[in-house]
Amino acid sequence: MKSLSLLFVLLAAFGLAQAQTVVPKLDQDGRKGDMARLAHKQAQDKFNTADANKDERISKEEAAATLPYVAEHFDRYDKDKDGLLTWEEFVGHNRWKKD
């Protein structure tokens, strides 16, 4: 839970709005790049753990099993209202691709 909180703090610090480009690039040098790579790895680990059926999307039920905060606020994250979170919806932007 502590690492999930760190992830959300980092993402908030880098700006969650897609219209802004304050989310650092993963290949950026320096501290911002280091923090972006750390947040990216943590997000991927959380996403992969939550994605129990490995379909590259997280359902509300999958989120409830490992990501209670995300499950509680699921509708806010689910931008296209299809009942599933894609990688971009999960991290809140499309600047980082999922490896």
Residue ranges of domains in the chain, CATH in brackets: 2-91 (1.10.238.10)
pLDDT tens digits along 41-80: 999 999 999 999 999 999 999 999 999 999 999 999 999 9
How would you classify the pairing of strands 58-59 and 84-85?
antiparallel
Q: Is this model's pTM higher than 0.85 or not?
A: no
Q: Which residue has the higher pLDDT, 98 or 9?
A: 98
pLDDT in tens, 19-35: 455 778 888 899 999 99
